[in-house]
Structure 1
Amino acid sequence: MRSPYMMKNKSIIPVEKIDRAILVIRGQKVMLDSDLAEIYGVRTSRLNEQVKRNRERFPEDFMFQLTNEEKQEVIANCDHLEKLKFSSTNPYAFTEHGTIMLANVLNTPTAIETSVLIVRAFVKLREFLSNHKEIERKIFELESKYDSQFKLVFEAIRELMKRELLDKNRPRIGFKINKEK
């Protein structure tokens, strides 16, 4: 089966598709078996069959099966995974290392080529999160460093906000134009 995301060995997988497939479950960034099967161009049953045949390659930090509660939460929060509610088995979640191992187990040209894109998506997500933490840290440093200097400014802004709220509730006085005719 040829992946709808691959054509003539040219990668046309939208990065957004891979990014959307990366979920955070149990505090780990993972991809579900159904998303990986679609991206790798195989059936989910075939993917899981290969995992079961090579179980020793998938320790707990590479792959785990979702609980019923986790499955329901994923279905509720991810529209593209709504089809999972009709499945009698809970999906498997693969970490970044698990997706790489999965490409090795599947060993199809599509799986190998796609695994590179998936790893890049995980790396991009990791970089984004680390940059976000760095910005958050710098803002905190600025706030703690300059908080006393800008305390008056913040108090003045709060006072103006209070006045604006009070002014909206106060009845207006003065001349009003009657627009009714």
Structure 2
Amino acid sequence: MSDFDAENESVETSAPIALVDSANIETLIHTVRGQQIMLDTDLARLYEVETKNLNRAAARNADRFPEDFRFQLTKEEDESLRCQIGTSKTMEGRGGRRYLPYAYTEQGIAMLSGVLRSEVAVQTSISIMRAFVAMRHFLAENATLFERLRGVELSQAAFQQSTDERFNQVFRLLEGEVEKPQRIFFAGQMFDAFSLLTDLVGRAEREISLVDGYVDVHTLNVLAKKRKGVAVTVYTSGNRLTQGDVDVFNAQYPQLTVRRTRTFHDRFLILDSATAYHIGASLKDAGKKCFGIDLIQDEELTKMLIEKLKLLDEHQTA
């Protein structure tokens, strides 16, 4: 079994695949220990898996889930959260469980989408990430109001002040941000960077070309968010990605081709041989340090880059 296969175990489910409305996810986001979290039960329902299987997948990849990514609620925290939510369906669904629930932070959910290998996980992960980003925008815009609230009232007031129209505006703004020609992410913004990169990958309709000297299985977690049938060619000088990793990826997300080259120093993402982005960090490290993503607006430069990649393809296939 390759590293990629072992790190991304399948969580089997026979439930039908259902699209998740990201506008409804914000009601499942709670505040515990000063962090925005989602409960394991709610995540399991969104991903159409059993709660025990979701937690088992995380436990088997424990090195990916430190305490600030995933933690188990104390009895007091569990009771307090029950009081906040009351008799909501979320809490009713936890009846009869033998252990205290696990809470997943924003970073933990981003990591969780990499270890759950179901079609539902692919479809819902972006919706969940957008809900977290939208919640942060909403809280930031109303910071003055929330400074007057304490403890439990902070979470409750956030939901009471929100309306469907308010969140629709936030989501429209979020979608508009993807179109900005330049974006900068600062150290620690791994979730936001992952969200934007997967959004860009998901835009391609026919093919994706990625120039990145340091590609590994974490890069494949981003590329897995592509549309079905979109071909991917990766140009890299590194050897962190084995043929076994490529074969495992292609078994579920065909078709990935890896070409070895030392021609490039910088990183580029090209969609459908038409739109190119210059990326300041390897996809696997996006958000770990400050970096930028720039849309290449000069059509001639984009054409020159694409022609260079075509020459490399012809040389390696000759």
- Map 1:73-84 onto structure 2 (within 5 A): 73-78=80-85, 79-80=88-89, 81-84=91-94
Aligned residue in 2 for 1:110: 120
Percentage of matched positions with identical amino acids = 40
Give CA-to-partner distance per residue, 1:22-63, whole Å, 9 cap, x none: 000010000000000000111001101101111110011111
Correspondent of 1:17 among 4, 24, 41: 24
Normalized per residue, the structure richer in helix is 1
In 2, Cα distance between equivalents of 1:97 and 1:45: 20
Does structure 1 conserve the Cα–Cα contact (< 8 Å) formed by 2:37 and 2:106? yes
Aligned residue in 1 for 2:96: 86
Structure 1 stretch 81-90 or stretch 64-73: which is displaced more? 81-90
Corresponding position: 1:129 with 2:136: no
Aligned residue in 2 for 1:36: 43
For residues 48 and 136 of structure 1, do their structure 2 counterparts lie closer, same or farther at Cα, with a shift above 3 Å needed? closer
Aligned residue in 2 for 1:72: 79
Task: In structure 2, give the amino acid aligned to 1:106.
Answer: L
Q: Which has the larger radius of gyration?
A: 1
Corresponding position: 1:27 with 2:53: no
Does structure 2 conserve the Cα–Cα contact (< 8 Å) formed by 1:29 and 1:95? yes
Task: Name stretches of at least 5 consecutive residues in structure 1 with no aligned partner.
Answer: 138-181
Task: In structure 2, give the amino acid aligned to 1:111.
Answer: A
Task: In structure 2, give the amino acid aligned to 1:44.
Answer: T
- Map 1:58-69 onto structure 2 (within 5 A): 58-69=65-76
- Measure how far apart 1:87 and its partner are: 1.7
- Measure how far apart 1:108 and its partner are: 1.4
- Measure how far apart 1:16 and its partner are: 4.2
In 2, Cα distance between equivalents of 1:94 and 1:42: 16
Does structure 2 conserve the Cα–Cα contact (< 8 Å) formed by 1:65 and 1:90? yes
Structure 2 SS opposite 1:64: strand
Does structure 1 conserve the Cα–Cα contact (< 8 Å) formed by 2:37 and 2:103? yes
In 2, Cα distance between equivalents of 1:75 and 1:85: 11
Give CA-to-partner distance per residue, 1:52-81, whole Å, 9 cap, x none: 111110011111100011111222222221
Task: In structure 2, give the amino acid aligned to 1:18.
Answer: I
Give CA-to-partner distance per residue, 1:87-107, whole Å, 9 cap, x none: 220111001110111111112
- Map 1:163-178 onto structure 2 (within 5 A): none
Task: Name stretches of at least 5 consecutive residues in structure 2 with no aligned partner.
Answer: 1-12, 148-318
Does structure 1 conserve the Cα–Cα contact (< 8 Å) formed by 2:41 and 2:93? no
Does structure 2 conserve the Cα–Cα contact (< 8 Å) formed by 1:33 and 1:91? yes
In 2, Cα distance between equivalents of 1:95 and 1:133: 21
For residues 22 and 93 of structure 1, do their structure 2 counterparts lie closer, same or farther at Cα, with a shift above 3 Å needed? same
Runs of 4+ aligned structure 1 residues displaced above 6 Å come to 134-137
Number of residue pairs matched by the alignment: 132
Does structure 2 conserve the Cα–Cα contact (< 8 Å) formed by 1:33 and 1:47? yes
In 1, Cα distance between equivalents of 2:55 and 2:146: 40
Does structure 1 conserve the Cα–Cα contact (< 8 Å) formed by 2:23 and 2:131? no
Does structure 1 conserve the Cα–Cα contact (< 8 Å) formed by 2:69 and 2:106? yes
Aligned residue in 1 for 2:261: none
Correspondent of 1:53 among 60, 85, 109: 60
Aligned residue in 2 for 1:167: none
TM-score by length of 1: 0.66
Normalized per residue, the structure richer in strand is 2
